[in-house]
Structure 1
Amino acid sequence: MGRRIAGFPEQAVITEVGPRDGLQSEPVFVPTAQKIALIQSLLDAGLRRFEITSFVSPRAVPQMQDAAEVMAAFRQRRDAHLTALVPNTRGAAAAIEAGVDAMVLFASASESHNLKNVNRPRAESLRGFAEIAKLAEGTGVALQGAIATAFGCPFEGDVAVRAVVDQARAYRDLGMRFITLGDTTGMATPALVIEWLRALTTELPDVDFSLHFHNTRGVGLACAYAGLSQGARYFESSIGGLGGCPFVPRATGNVPTEDLAYLFHESGVATGTDPDLLIRAAQLAERIIGRELPGQIMKAGPRLRTAPMDSVRTANG
């Protein structure tokens, strides 16, 4: 564990979104057995919160056609918290039947991205959430909220912090006490993260906010660091840096889980994960996908991993 930084939380909780957000855009279907093996490797590495799949139309997202089978492999794990993304009441009914711990309901902070992402206006999405909330009553399945494009929209540009606060309040009023701020477009900056968190925690002190960054412009870890500076304890990431929203131009992957955990570890913030096993999980993800992934720690290793002097050549001249 690295040196503690004053003002940072002692612990942070990472939700692994690779099995859903990381894989959803892959053009070649990843066999169910390989998805299960990847999730198991992440459990072995110490992760305990997962956005494990999404219950969406197989026509819209073919990669998630095995949602029920993936859930069935882990629904008896009482030490894991398993959530699934649901877009509508049909998906919610399937998620409840599959035994998820929580359903993640999502809408964009910008109207144009919501139209692209779910093909409906934001107001219609929010009305649908009220129907899902009724469906979930008495089932023991919690509701979580996600605000996509929370830090900027690829079609409209800046998103006002007021719009994000108002959307979070609407979620809270539907019973959601855990809300993710999604940097779907990689437009977040450390300054925006600090401003947004201060506004949200001031106006909605009874809500836990999670931060979800994409590394589109190379500042995902800097944004996570800014979140820590404001006391944020919940974060989302994807093993190896898998992912990228299919409805965003020039989208790239999420912040890699192993890189995020390394940053936290070196900042004195415990995550309960094993760095070496996270690296193995990232390497497994690479083998499954069949191409190099953007994660850095799986290539370089932790900073104190030394090498013998004869492993590199000596300079001449």
Structure 2
Amino acid sequence: MFAITAARISPEDPLSGLEAGERPDPEPREGWTVVDVRAAALNHHDLWSLRGTALSEKHLPMVLGTDAAGTDEDGNEVIVHGVVGDPAAGGGDETLDPRRSLFSEVYDGCLAEKIAVPRRNLVPKPPELSFEEAACLPTAWLTAYSMLFGKADLRPGSAVLVQGAGGGVSAALIRLASHVGHRVYATSRSGAKRERALALGAHAALPTGERLPERVDAVFDSVGKATWGHSLRSLKPGGAVITCGATSGDAPSAELNRVFFLQLRVIGSTMGTREELDALARMCARTGVRPEIDRVLPLDRAREGFRAMLDGDHFGKIVFTV
């Protein structure tokens, strides 16, 4: 089968380790099945793998990718849930399983014609969603859904801030939060991305670090070091910052005086559960809300998509078709 593989790790030049070519077809173990991939989406996790942050050299070569939609062995249209839990854990919230992994960390990933997955990781794809749209959901959109509806504890009509508009998670948060009636502020260093955020439904879009017109009930921060201080200063007393990443590095200061004096909450969020992915897909089907897709490329042009993500030259998801 044709696949996109991490063959080498290079923190300085991640694309140097990217290879495209033939790989052996997957052979499923007990309780697993094979999915014929129709579309797969790119994530920052794939770049982190090539840098060695999310992938160990002992697992090379590794097929990249955590997001896919396709057909199972019975011809059913499915979405692949990217979190692989420990079968011995006995079920429950797989995101809390300390032995969990994502596809492309221990097991070959989704940027291929076929992928072997645990049967429990398959979610029905609603017919209303295209394969390209469905492939965007399992990482970025699921992360946003879990942050917004599972962690934030917001009332309808709340004011929220989304830091770093432009990435897949941020675009999903803007779309979902505005759809349910929250007043959404978004930040970006790029004027073009601020305009796109407004088109997605943001109430206002401001340059990164600029003071907001009001304090907000919750901040969604996947940036980390570059935005952390601004995130805390933007919150109302009792507000919450929900973090799912630190693409610019760890925060330089926890600012604990501000946290305890204003009784702020700091909440971590990682991916989402299979049940949340199923609920997200059904919500999209019912409401007409769809992922923002920056571009769709055939899988054999995957390097173009990786380059666009590395350069920050995208807004929303980059999708590959098989």
Whichever structure has more helix as a proportion of its residues is 1
Q: When the two structures are superposed, what TM-score results if normalisation uses the length of structure 1?
A: 0.30
With structure 2 as the length reference, what TM-score do the two structures score? 0.30
